């Protein structure tokens, strides 16, 4: 079961064997029946000729008005015999029977032809045809019997079966060789795929070639896309590590310089730069978690459940803020629930923090394009010229409120990782800021 070639050949061998056995048995029955039927017709012809030539002699016994045409009836133990017998009359056997007699069963009356095999002669199996006849000028029921040795027909049947076995064995071997060739050459493209994958692993090529049969091409195409996806993830990881290193380099340099110069405000410098480094680490960790969970093909989250969970958490943090929810309760997105909670938590918490007490969350299914989540507040909003810059890491419009300035940056990065987007607009209903989060449908 671990080899496709063996599996294909095995199934073919079983099916070919079943078909050949069934076909051989049926053909053997047909041909054997035909031989036996032809043999019986010859005996029947002789029996009818013998009955037609029979008459009652002056002594009341049966005699033939013409001698039998087959000379084997005159040769002792020739293998061809006849016998005429009647109740109370002498038996009239052929000379070929010599000192033997055919068995006569008085228990049945054969008006029609009765054909059967007999082993009454120990060294010679017989095929017998018999019939009961009442001849003119006689009241006796005469039984006419014609028998012939089965050696000829058995020999013919044996030769026939030998020929059938040899022919079907050769046919079976030929079909198995054909199945093996089909399996070997049919699966050859898969062996090519394996060789090219080995070449990719060794670094001699980057993609699998596309000159494959159309049955294999979808697999090759998916493998190439998987390789491209792996390269993208590796490049993204390298870029992510480079960005993190670059982001931490400046704060570390500042701390090192301050410590080397024994600056009097060293403690404040360390605290300030450590806060900056923590923001960068939190941001990059959030991106890394989102990228890792994006690899799951079964990512799915119910938007309404996540919105309700965020609403309960924000209400506990900001008891004076009212969060209203409306929209499609069945909407689902192709995002891990944890990442969806993090994005909605940042958006709703910002709306509650910078608004004047009212937050409105709307969930809308936009056809097959995706799901839109609108988060509106009644705060002062953000000027259109500053809406793009607010997505930069650490950007904050109100420094009096607690926070790291990473909320919107994390939301945008996570949304883009999953193929979504976010943009800021003005709320027509509440007059504050409207955050329009677009996410792919599940």
Question: What pLDDT score does 246 carry?
Answer: 66
Question: What pLDDT score does 271 carry?
Answer: 85
> Domain extents for the chain?
6-157, 217-294, 301-439
Burial string for 111-144 (b: 16+ CB within 10 Å, else e) reads eeebbeeeeebeebebbbbbbebebeebebbbbb
Phi and psi at residue 366, to the nearest 5°: -100, 75
Question: What pLDDT score does 190 carry?
Answer: 83
Question: What pLDDT score does 214 carry?
Answer: 79
Question: What pLDDT score does 368 carry?
Answer: 74
- How confident is the model over 283-295, as pLDDT tens digits? 667 666 666 655 5
At residue 405 the predicted structure's pLDDT band, cuts being 50, 70 and 90, is: very low
Length of the chain measured in residues: 442
Residues 243-260: what's their mean pLDDT?
A: 78
- How confident is the model over 117-165, as pLDDT tens digits? 999 998 899 999 999 998 888 888 899 999 999 998 999 999 999 999 9
pLDDT at 394 over 60: no
Instruction: Report the share of the chain in percent with pLDDT over 70.
Output: 90
Least confident of 41-45, 274-278, 353-357: 274-278
Instruction: Report the share of the chain in percent with pLDDT over 90.
Output: 34
pLDDT at 403 over 60: no
Average pLDDT over the chain, rounded to an integer: 84
Question: What pLDDT score does 384 carry?
Answer: 84
Structure tokens at 81: 């015999």
Structure tokens at 327: 């929209």
- How confident is the model over 367-384, as pLDDT tens digits? 777 899 999 999 888 888
Return the SS3 of 84. strand
At residue 166 the predicted structure's pLDDT band, cuts being 50, 70 and 90, is: very high
Q: Which CATH number fits domain 6-157: 1.10.10, 3.30.310, 3.30.420, 3.30.450?
A: 3.30.450
CA-nearest of 148, 124, 149 to 43 is 148
- CA separation for the pair 57, 60 (Å, rounded): 5
- How confident is the model over 42-95, as pLDDT tens digits? 999 999 999 988 888 888 788 888 888 888 999 999 999 999 998 888 889 999
Phi and psi at residue 280, to the nearest 5°: -65, -45
Residues 6+ apart with CB under 8 A from 350: 407, 408, 435
Q: Is the pTM of this model over 0.85?
A: no
Return the SS3 of 209. coil
Query: Could you tell me which residue, 243 or 214, shows the higher pLDDT?
Result: 214
Question: What pLDDT score does 290 carry?
Answer: 62
At residue 402 the predicted structure's pLDDT band, cuts being 50, 70 and 90, is: very low
Query: Could you tell me which residue, 2 or 160, shows the higher pLDDT?
Result: 160
Residues 11-32: what's their mean pLDDT?
A: 93
Query: Could you tell me which residue, 76 or 247, shows the higher pLDDT?
Result: 76
H or E element: which one contains 92? strand 92-93
Dihedral of the CA atoms 411, 413, 419, 425 (nearest 10)? 50
Question: What pLDDT score does 17 carry?
Answer: 92
Residues 245-249: what's their mean pLDDT?
A: 72
pLDDT at 35 over 80: yes
Question: What pLDDT score does 44 carry?
Answer: 93
- How confident is the model over 177-194, as pLDDT tens digits? 998 888 888 888 888 888
Structure tokens at 44: 């029947």
- How confident is the model over 232-245, as pLDDT tens digits? 777 777 776 766 77
Strands 358-366 and 322-327: parallel
Residues 216-244: what's their mean pLDDT?
A: 78
Return the SS3 of 184. helix
- CA separation for the pair 119, 99 (Å, rounded): 17
- CA separation for the pair 175, 289 (Å, rounded): 57
- The alpha carbon of 328 is separated from its chain's Cα centroid by a whole number of angstroms, namely 37
The CATH class given to the 301-439 domain equals alpha beta
Question: What pLDDT score does 26 carry?
Answer: 95
At residue 396 the predicted structure's pLDDT band, cuts being 50, 70 and 90, is: very low
- How confident is the model over 309-322, as pLDDT tens digits? 999 999 988 989 99
Question: What pLDDT score does 247 carry?
Answer: 67
């Amino acid at each position: 079961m671990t080899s496709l070639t063996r599996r294909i050949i095995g199934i073919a061998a079983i099916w070919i064997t079943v078909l050949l056995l069934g076909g051989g048995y049926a053909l053997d029955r047909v041909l054997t029946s035909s031989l036996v039927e032809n043999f019986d017709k010859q005996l029947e012809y002789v029996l009818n000729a013998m009955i037609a030539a029979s008459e009652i002699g002056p002594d009341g016994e049966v005699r033939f008005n013409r001698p039998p045409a087959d000379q084997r009836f005159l040769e002792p133990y020739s293998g061809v015999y006849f016998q005429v017998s009647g109740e109370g009359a002498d038996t009239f056997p052929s000379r070929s029977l010599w000192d033997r007699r055919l068995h006569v069963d008085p228990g049945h009356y054969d008006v029609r032809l009765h054909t059967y095999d007999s082993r009454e002669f120990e060294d010679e199996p017989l095929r017998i045809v018999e019939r009961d006849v009442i001849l003119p000028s006689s009241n006796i029921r005469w039984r006419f019997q014609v028998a012939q040795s089965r050696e000829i027909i058995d020999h013919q049947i044996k030769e026939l079966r030998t020929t059938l076995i040899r022919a079907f064995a050769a046919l079976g071997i030929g079909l198995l060789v054909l199945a093996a060739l089909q399996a070997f050459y049919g699966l050859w493209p898969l062996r090519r795929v394996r060789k090219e994958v080995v070449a990719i692993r060794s670094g001699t090529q980057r993609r699998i070639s596309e000159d494959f049969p159309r049955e294999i091409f979808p697999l090759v195409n998916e493998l190439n896309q998987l390789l491209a996806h792996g390269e993208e993830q590796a490049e993204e990881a390298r870029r992510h590590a480079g960005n993190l290193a670059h982001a931490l380099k400046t704060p570390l340099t500042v701390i090192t310089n301050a410590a080397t110069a024994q600056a009097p405000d060293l403690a404040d410098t360390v605290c300030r730069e450590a806060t900056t480094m923590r923001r960068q680490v939190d941001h990059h960790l959030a991106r890394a978690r989102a990228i890792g969970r994006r690899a799951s093909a079964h990512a799915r989250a119910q938007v309404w459940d996540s919105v309700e969970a965020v609403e309960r958490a924000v209400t506990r943090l900001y008891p004076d803020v009212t969060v209203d929810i409306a929209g499609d309760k069945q909407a689902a997105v192709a995002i891990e629930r944890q990442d969806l909670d993090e994005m909605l938590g940042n958006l709703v918490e910002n709306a509650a923090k910078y608004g004047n007490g009212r937050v409105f969350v709307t969930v809308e299914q936009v056809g097959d394009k995706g799901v839109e989540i609108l988060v509106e507040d009644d705060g002062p909003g953000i000027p259109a010229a500053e809406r793009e810059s607010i997505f930069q890491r650490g950007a904050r419009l109100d420094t009096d409120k607690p926070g790291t300035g990473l909320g919107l940056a994390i939301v945008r990065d996570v949304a883009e990782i999953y193929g979504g987007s976010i943009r800021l607009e003005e709320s027509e209903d509440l007059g504050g800021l409207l955050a329009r989060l677009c996410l792919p449908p599940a």
